[in-house]
Amino acid sequence: MAIVLIRQDGKLDLWKNAFLGQYPDLPVFHYEEPHSTEEVTMAIVWKHPEGSLTHYPNLQCIASFGAGVDFIFEDNTRPKNVTITRVIDPALAADMSEYVLGVILMYLKNLDTYRQDQANKSWRPKAYTRIADHTIGIMGAGTLGITLANSLLPLGFKVVGWSREAKEVENFKIYHGQGGKTNFLRQSTILVCLLPLTDATKEILDKETLSQLPKGAYLINVARGGHLAENQLIPLIDSGHLSGACLDVFQQEPLEEGHPFWDHPKIKITPHVASVSDPASVVHQLVENYYRLEKKVPLVNTVDPSRGY
Ligand code: NDP
Ligand code: OXD
């Protein structure tokens, strides 16, 4: 039995060393070095090259290096009937909450605009809003969404959530399904997308959905670029229906040089960094599943293929 690591972002050695640092005897290889493909039972992947999983005839688990698994389901060449797992990690959730809180406070107090004004040596005081003025709508009240809600509520924000199935939590209301979507959207002065990308959520942030937000609402997309119907965003901002957006994820990453989002004064862009899996924090859960395979016991953090997340 062995583990293969597949990713194309220059971080293979960093991850391999993180595994070996904590588990020196672990049979872990990266996909570009010589290894017995027959031995491999677990592939840990992040945006792997399509077709790369077909080299492993004895694969029992495909594990995402991150929380999302959309790129695994998109690879139609992947071996089917192999368990898929994802990362569920308190540090990943805390990092996401910190990022979103930072964006919200920047928006409330116009801090990004003053940064631009300073570059132009322009003194232009603007009206600001307060925490009490806003209801944060968390689209995707799952692991990351609930952690975010629990970090915003003590600060005085009103929070509403939206999920696929009905669920109740003590401190805020979670709407669900198509039936609850409109009520959820109507209240959300700041909408944070934390959905998984699936057939049901593809381009869910389109004109129809975003038009149901209150006038002047702000959009934060930290989930996947595929959630946003990109060509429908700028008209909603330019018409004044939305006051702006902060986007961490894009249909195509890196964002193409000529994309209109780069130059729009009311769109803030970050390069898919809202929350990044930290090897020190997630190696343990990935290796735990490798040992579970060895012992033939059920894996943790599995994904339901029928839901796609
Ligand atoms: P979870 O699976 O824990 O939560 C997903 C939530 O979305 C659940 O509440 C689920 O509902 C809800 N949901 C799914 N489908 C629908 C639907 N069709 N209609 C309504 N609600 C739906 O995921 P995580 O919180 O761990 O992660 C969310 C996503 O965040 C990841 O998939 C990834 O794409 C993205 N991400 C982005 C990062 C970045 O740096 N930008 C970093 C980490 C993650 P229910 O509760 O009923 O199942
Ligand atoms: C993730 C991500 O899914 O980093 O973990 O986007």
Each residue's pLDDT tens digit, 140-160? 999 999 999 999 999 999 999
- Residues 167-203 have pLDDT tens digits of 999 999 999 999 999 999 999 999 999 999 999 999 9
DSSP per-residue letters across 253-268: SSPPTT-GGGG-TTEE
Give the other-Cβ count within 10 Å of 154's Cβ.
Answer: 8
Q: 200 CB under 6 A from ligand 1?
A: yes
User: Is the distance from CB of 120 to CB of 206 less than 8 angstroms?
Assistant: no
> pLDDT by residue (tens digit) across 15-56?
999 999 999 999 999 999 999 999 999 999 999 999 999 999
pLDDT given for residue 117 in this prediction: 96
Task: Give the list of residues 6+ apart from residue 29 with CB closer than 8 angstroms, or none.
Answer: 2, 3, 4, 5, 16, 35, 40
Cβ–ligand 2 distance for 279 under 6 Å, the answer no
Distance from C-alpha of 139 to C-alpha of 194, rounded to nearest angstrom: 6
Residue 164 among the catalytic residues? no
Residues 116-121, mean pLDDT to the nearest whole number = 96
Sheet holding 2-7, edge to edge: 28-30, 2-7, 40-46, 61-64, 83-85
224, 227, 259, 284: the catalytic one is: 224
Distance CA(121)–CA(111), nearest Å, equals 15
Question: Which helix (H) or strand (E) segment is 228 a member of?
Answer: none
Q: For ligand 2, atom 2, name the residue with the nearest CA.
A: 66
For range 95-99, the mean pLDDT: 98
Tell me, using a 6 A CB cutoff, whether residue 199 lines ligand 1. Answer: no
How much is the pLDDT for 129? 98
Token pair 């080299």 is found at: 55
Q: What is the pLDDT of residues 256-296, one digit of tens each?
A: 999 999 999 999 999 999 999 999 999 999 999 999 999 99
Residue range 92-106: mean pLDDT, rounded: 98
Look at residue 16 in the predicted model and tell me its pLDDT: 98
Ligand 2 binding pocket includes 68 (Cβ within 6 Å):
yes
pLDDT at 207: 98
Backbone torsions φ then ψ of 287, nearest 5 degrees: -70, -35
Predicted pLDDT of residue 64: 98
Calculate the average pLDDT of the chain.
98
Active site includes 30? no
pLDDT band of residue 60 (cuts 50, 70, 90) is very high
Q: How confident is the model at residue 307 (pLDDT cuts 50, 70, 90)?
A: very high
Ligand 2 pocket mutation, candidates 11, 69, 74, 92, criterion most atoms within 8 A of CB = 92
At 33 the pLDDT is 96
Facing residues of 61 across strands? 42, 83
Question: Is 195's C-beta closer than 6 angstroms to any atom of ligand 1?
Answer: yes
* The predicted structure's pLDDT at residue 10: 96
Percent of the chain with pLDDT over 90: 100
Catalytic residue among 272, 284, 292, 307: 272
Distance CA 289, CA 61 (A): 9
pLDDT of residue 144: 98
Helix 90-108 / helix 143-152 crossing angle, nearest 10 deg: 50
